[in-house]
Amino acid sequence: MKHFLLLLCCCCSIRLAAQTVTYETAGKKAQAAFDQAISSMREYKPKDAVKYLQEAVKFQPKFADAYGQLGLTYVEMKQYAQALEAFKQLQTLDPDGIRRVRLANARALAGNGMFTEALAMVNAFIANAKNPVPAAEQLKKNMEFAVKTKPVPFQPQNLGDNINSPDPEYFPSLTIDGKTLIYTRRVNGKNEDFFISTRDSSLQWQPAKNMGEPVNTSFNEGAQNISQDGQMLVFTGCDFPEGRGSCDIYYSIKTPEGWQMPKNVGPGVNTRDWESQPCLSPDKQSLYFVRQTPDASSDIFVSHRTPEGQWGRAERLGPTINTPGRETTPFLHADGQTLFFASDGHPGYGGLDIFYSRRQPDGSWGTPVNLGYPINTIEEEGSLVVSSDGKTAYFASDRSDSRGSLDIYSFELYEAARPLPTLYVKGFVYDAKTNKRLTAAMELMDLSTKLTIATIRSDENGDYLVPLPTGKDYAFNVNRKGYLFYSDNFSLKEAKGDQPFEKNIPLQPLEANAVVVLRNIFFATKEYALQPASTTELDKLVALLKDNPAMQVEIGGHTDNVGSDADNQVLSENRARSVVQYLVEHGIAANRLKAKGFGKTKPIDTNDTEAGRAQNRRTELKVISI
């Protein structure tokens, strides 16, 4: 506001040509209206100021000072189209006077997407300024970036009255199935609470409801993120009695009885500094958040969950993402590969812009890409999330069709910026003999890169949900002490639609005669040399045998019925021997291992289809003794 009043003084000092009206030559009614406008601005009432200035120019149609002040007021209100009209009137009345408001005029041009004109205007301002003006230099930098870019598709849609209200709504977050939306609402302009809405069968959002206790309290909580499976909520709590700083990050777990009492995530994340805006990774094993520190404004940090279930010491994401400026509102998409965040430190249009970064094959983050205009503007943008299909984005804005303040909007994200479409696998883990539900560790790996995509645990009811980007082949391993590990593989290269894969996983107790298929051991057709993608599974088998030093096992090779019986028998024996040889080379005593080939003699599926034959071509582990 001080910056505005400084511009005001410049405007009022304009001396106009004889055919125009200045404050000194205006009539008393016009002067009085102008004075009331200035008083309104000093009281932070710009809407009232506009009303009085409109009265002033009604009394004096050539009142140049009033048009100049009207343009400045509209800029303050971020109503840039109206500001340009006022400045146009000022320039018509006094071409010399417009020079005094060039910086505000340049901002109005930029606010209307007229970046080339805005750059020319701010350059003219800087050329005539007696001393450097930081705001002008920053606007010049932003416009130099803006003129090199092209607009991107952007048609935001208000989510409507079932979601939005006259109160501000912001920080939307979604479950992976797109059926649950949770967001923050500042109720009556005071206390922040979480609201929840679900989608019906016609894909319409139902009236949102306050989530209630114990998540919502009399304290200030906001900036939440719901896990992809909808079972964990992380959020910011400020001035909580048990807090470590002014604002800390908390979590709550959903149970059949409802949401649990929120808990502080602990010292690995929370400090005496300000922590906020958390986001969980799809597997719930990493927590991204923002921390404000005295040395670096606000940066994005990440904490990884330890094997004991605690959050480890958080670390900055590094200079590719973080800058000396502000980085805020991180959102990791369900694909686990695309990070959206806001920053004013990377090249942009002004204020906070939204960027995305792709995870690289080595696990690092790639160079951030600005989402472009008009998604980003000269204002501050942030708090963007994207649905699992990568197409629909949600954000908060106070656009002209809002219900009164910030509302939640959606729009179709243009193709180049979309994350990988993501489906999910869900089901439960159980004891193959007793059917008892089990908690177990689960790991998914991209077969092409051998990178671990997700590491999770099934819950106390044995249930699990794992988001997976489409277009890839995956290995799937499940482990629990006292059981043989379970393995599987599947391809999402041709996956279409939005239906999840459902897979219930039986675990075989570790006992004599227990058998498990090693589905992630691969051979080329008619070959017995192990393919590189097999090493992850073979290493797990090595670890199992080392953890159980008395265990003896049989490795069985099986084929389909294609080819001669003799060839299939030899092929199955050689494949079994290849696995045994790998185990011996990695420290397992040969006298604990037996290789046996069964050829086509023990099919587990039909040989009349390719899918059935693929099931019959397999490697099995059988426990001989413990």
Give the H/E segment covering residue 116: helix 115-128
Prior bond to 469 cis, omega within 30? no
Asked if 343 and 328 touch (Cβ cutoff 8 Å), the reply is: yes
Q: What are phi and psi of 344, to 5 degrees?
A: -115, 10
274-280, strands of its sheet edge to edge: 274-280, 286-293, 297-304, 315-316
Phi, psi of 89 (to 5 degrees): -65, -40
CA distance 392 to 410: 7
CA separation for the pair 1, 6 (Å, rounded): 9
Which contiguous run of DSSP H or E holds residue 425? strand 422-431
DSSP string, 152-167: -----EE--TTT--SS
* CB contact at 8 A, 498 and 389: yes
Strands (E), 166-231: 169-174, 180-187, 191-198, 209-210, 220-226
| Distance of alpha carbon 205 from alpha carbon 384, whole angstroms | 18
Q: Report CA 183 to chain centroid distance, whole Å.
A: 14
Residue 327 amino acid letter? E
Structural domains of the chain, with CATH: 2-146 (1.25.40.10), 159-414 (2.120.10.30), 421-509 (2.60.40.1120), 511-626 (3.30.1330.60)
pLDDT digits (tens, 9 = 90+) for 141-150: 999 999 999 9
Instruction: Respond yes or no on whether the N-terminal peptide bond of residue 419 is cis (omega within 30° of 0).
Output: no
DSSP three-state, residue 441 = strand
Q: Name the residue among 264, 344, 336, 338 with its Cα closest to residue 299.
A: 344
Tens digits of residue pLDDT in 226-259: 999 999 999 999 888 888 888 999 999 998 889 9
What pLDDT score does 498 carry?
Answer: 67
- The whole model's pTM is what? 0.84
Extract the residue ranges of the chain whose pLDDT is less than 50. Answer: 1-18
* CB of 209 closer than 8 Å to CB of 217: no
User: CA-to-CA distance for 90 and 66, rounded, in angstroms?
Assistant: 9
